[in-house]
Amino acid sequence: MTCSVAEADLPLELTPAQAVRAAYPDELATAELALAQRLPVLVECDKELVPYFYAELRARLKKRSLACAYLDGRPAPGAPEGVAMGVMATMIGQLRDAVRGPVGERVVVLPHLDLLTTGSGGLTAEAREVIPLLYENPQILWLGFKDPSFAVPKVIANLFARHVHILGVGRERLAHLVTQRESRKLSRATSFDPYVLYKYVSGLNAVRLRRLLSALDGEDYPEDAKGALGQLRGATLTADLELPDVDLTDDIGGYARVKERLRREILDVLTHKSTLDDPEAIRRVEALVPRGMIFWGPPGTGKTLFAKAMATALGAAVIIVSGPELKSRWVGESEENIRQVFLRARQSAPSIIVFDELDSFAAARGTFTGSGVEHSMVNQLLTEMDGFRKEELVFVVGTTNFVESLDHALLRPGRFEFHLHVPFPDADDRRAILGVHDQKLGLSMSPRALEWAVRRTGDLVEGTESRYSGDHLQALCRQIARTRLRTGASGPVEPDDVEAAMTAYLERPELTTAEEHVVATHEAGHAICAILCEHAPPIDRISIRGDVGGSLGFVQYADRAHRYVVTRAQLLDSICVLFGGREAEGLLLDDLSIGSAHDLERATDIARSLVEELGMGGHGVSVQRYAARAPGHERQLADPTLLAVDEAIRSVLESQRERASRLLREHRGELEALRDLLLERKVIDSAGLDGVLPKRPSRAPTAGASHG
């Protein structure tokens, strides 16, 4: 069994009535049988489908000797002319006459039930009049129609024993809705594959689908059907959806592992599905694709951009909605907003719904501080996701900075089961991201400028407490481009241009000469100790310009060669380096500044962790404290033990302070030379340290910094 249908087996012509009959046999049968059993029926479908669906249903009911009264607000033929009334008033009058007049064996049809009863913020005046009429005469057999865009009050929906929902066309019916002429515009062979077409039209009702297909133009049997499919795609988009053009490889730099996972878990599976020609095999593959996804990570790292790249690869539209924008003070309106988002996405499939800031309404239960509407919004979201047809290409992506705060009901398999972490970019990612923006903005960065930008963005964003994200890197490149445009500069971008763009508008502290002398001494002390401690990371940059995180100066280190295993020797070296600034001040200035306060705090925290938590401060005391804090063995320590713990911490701190002091005394010449070089240059990178400090073994450079 294959999906393809021979062109000769397709119809030559199709009227709208024939299309409705071919597209919805099950829905028509359900409505017919329920009405024959005297059960009221509510049909939910697009407005343009109502007259055609009703006409086919009426013909079937006529064979069962059931007449219909169609109350659409038009005056009856031959009715006397009187005072002109609006359509709504006329429909209510017709409804009143139908309820209070002779009933007989007939079906009363309300083609615009939604217009009679729908309003925002509560029941409309018309609804207050219509509701009693609908319940007044229980002998009447009702057939109501509502558009999916509208919601009717539950008191009215409950009147109908059978609900028939029609959204789009089932994939198995699509082959009955394409004529031979149209198939020639959509395929280069004399056979037609409805599975290829379906993903572009799954949300269209049969009447609209026929209208669009009959308008197709272009050559017959094209080598590539993108032209005809593009015509259909453009006609299916609503105003708030977009067709993005973001290439996963060319437009997003770096993030190799993130891209690989997205390809392997989603894109490759769907690509494999498109190569299949067995309906059963296709259904099995479709069941494997997760429809709900969580893209999580810090702000500005490109979570929405990855969703757009995924949409581009699938030829899907994207609708981006903000969690806070969905909330409403009116009861039920927040849930209705979610329902409308899903309706528009399904009508424009293939599509991806991106819920930005998903945690704003989908936080874990018990943590809400709002009105409680969040619970209903989460339930509505899950209801809509559970209502997807397997063959529909509609995906839901929730982005969040706080994945741990999301409701666990969302994260279980079958819902948002695919989680994609988009972290801050590492050095390789930053290099690739800068390369993308360099090419797009025509900056022509020199290799030295690119590497300088990669190293300079490895720490916190200057003047903030945030690391560099993709958005920060784009802003940096745009700043370089604006500066070059303003100054008329030409030629490649050099490191000085990068530095100027990063620091041009920073509000730095204006240090006096004496203050610069203190800061330079302090940072030189950190640097000398770092270079002489075997387990400290290598130095990447030293600055006394006050341009990072509010610090007057800082020493930036390259990343450690071993990132995941931390030893006692590394921690002790860290304490020694932290004491370096304070001890350098005492040695060269014979005085101390308050700039060492943060260093002392961090050194104490490390020493306390060594003794109390890690059992590395010494023997006996540390082990006792470690055991005392083991799970299930918490107990209050005796005063002598607490004194011993404090003494062990003091011993660790004092030994490393003395070590730092000794190293600086032994290398006073290098300390003074580095201080003087800092006063002259203000900023020194690793290359500028040659000849001033002893060489360190080379290690893998990237992120990490220490301020002081």
Query: What residues contact residue 65 under an 8 Å CB cut-off, 6+ apart?
Result: 105
Q: Which residue has the tokens 């590497």?
A: 451
What pLDDT band is residue 88 in, cutting at 50, 70 and 90? confident
In this prediction, residues 626-642 reach a mean pLDDT of 57
Q: What's 242's DSSP letter? A: B
Per-residue pLDDT at 122: 62
Cα–Cα distance measured from residue 464 to residue 455, given in angstroms and rounded to the nearest whole number? 17
CATH node for 431-457+466-503: 1.10.8
pLDDT of residue 563: 65
CB 213 within 8 A of CB 183: no
Query: What CATH number was assigned to the domain covering residues 256-421?
Result: 3.40.50.300
d(C-alpha 482, C-alpha 212), whole Å: 46
Gap between the Cα atoms of 612 and 617, Å rounded: 8
Residue 320 and residue 356 in contact, taking contact as beta carbons nearer than 8 Å: yes
Instruction: Check residues 103 and 461 and name the one with the higher pLDDT.
Output: 461
**Mean pLDDT computed over 313-322:** 87
Backbone angles phi, psi at 61, to 5 degrees: -70, -30
Answer whether residue 37 shows pLDDT above 90. Answer: yes
Per-residue confidence at 431, pLDDT binned at 50, 70, 90?
very high
pLDDT at 460: 76
Residues 658-686 have a mean pLDDT of: 89
- Residue 178 has φ and ψ, to the nearest 5°, of -120, 130
b/e for 225-262, b at 16 or more Cβ within 10 A?
beebbebbbeebbeeebebbebebeeebbbbeebbeeb
Element (H, E) at 5: strand 5-6
Query: What is the pairing mode between strands 683-685 and 705-707?
Result: unpaired
Task: State the pLDDT at residue 702.
Answer: 39
Q: What is the DSSP letter of 321?
A: E
Lookup result for tokens 């890197």: 473
Provide, rounded to the nearest whole percent, the portion of the chain with pLDDT above 90: 34
**What's the pLDDT score for residue 496?**
86
**Tokens 């925002």 — which residue?**
120
Worst-scoring range by mean pLDDT, 90-104, 429-443, 523-537?
90-104
Cα 139 to Cα 67, 106, 135, 159, 523: the distances in Å are 15, 10, 10, 13, 91
Residues whose CB is less than 8 angstroms from the CB of residue 274 and which lie 6 or more positions away in sequence, other chains included: 196
Average pLDDT score over residue span 163-181? 90
Q: What confidence category does residue 550 fall into, taking pLDDT thresholds of 50, 70 and 90?
A: low
Confidence category of residue 271, pLDDT binned at 50, 70, 90: confident
Q: Domain 513-707, CATH 1.20.58.760 — does that match?
A: yes
Half-sphere exposure of residue 24: CA atoms within 13 angstroms, side-chain side: 29
Q: Are 359 and 401 in contact (CB under 8 A)?
A: yes
Q: pLDDT digit string (tens) for 38-81?
A: 999 999 999 999 999 999 999 999 999 999 999 988 876 655 55
List helix spans (H) across 245-302.
256-262, 268-274, 279-286
Q: Give the residue among 245, 240, 256, 166 at the shortest CA–CA distance from 207.
A: 166
For 557-608, how does the pLDDT look when each residue is reduced to its tens digit (9 = 90+)? 776 655 668 888 899 999 999 999 999 999 999 888 888 888 999 999 999 9
Look over the chain and give the mean of its residue pLDDT values, rounded to a whole number.
83
Q: What is the pLDDT of residue 236?
A: 77
Q: Is the pLDDT of residue 458 over 90?
A: no
Query: What is the pLDDT confidence band of residue 128, given thresholds at 50, 70 and 90?
Result: confident
**CA distances to 223, 548, 684 from 680, in Å:** 69, 19, 10
Cα dihedral sign, 372-378-384-387: negative
Q: Which amino acid is at 707?
A: H
Confidence band (pLDDT; 50, 70, 90) for 627? very low
CA 78 to the chain's CA centroid: 60
Q: Where is mean pLDDT largest: 27-41, 102-116, 233-247, 336-350?
A: 27-41
Residues 53, 166 contacting (CB under 8 angstroms): yes
Q: What is the reported pLDDT for 308?
A: 92
Residue 622 has pLDDT above 80, yes or no: no
Residue 707 bridge partners (DSSP): 554
Query: Mind listing the pLDDT tens digit for each residue in 352-402?
Result: 999 888 887 777 655 555 556 677 788 788 888 877 777 778 889 989 888
Q: Domain 25-165 maps to which CATH number in 1.10.10.10, 3.40.50.300, 3.40.50.1970, 3.50.50.60? A: 3.40.50.300
> How far, in whole angstroms, is CA 603 from its chain's centroid?
39
Q: Which of 462, 523, 585, 670 is catalytic?
A: 523
Cα 352 to Cα 316, 355, 664, 699: the distances in Å are 7, 10, 61, 43
The total of other beta-carbon atoms located within 10 Å of residue 286's CB is 17
Collect all residues with Cβ–Cβ distance below 8 Å to 217 and sequence separation of at least 6.
Answer: 185, 231
Per-residue pLDDT, 326: 75
**Is residue 613 annotated as a catalytic residue, yes or no?**
no
Nearest Cα to Cα of residue 436 among 445, 449, 424, 448: 445
User: Could you tell me the maximum CA-CA distance found in the chain, to the nearest angstrom?
Assistant: 114
**What is the per-residue pLDDT for 30?**
96
What residue has token string 């913020």? 121
Output the CA–CA distances (angstroms, integers) from residue 664 to 430, 529, 658, 667, 672, in the order listed.
36, 7, 10, 5, 10
Secondary structure element (H or E) that encloses residue 668, with its range: helix 668-681
Q: Is the dihedral of CA 240, 243, 244, 248 positive or negative?
A: positive
pLDDT, tens only, 280-300:
888 888 888 888 899 999 999
**How confident is the model over 146-159, as a mean pLDDT?**
88
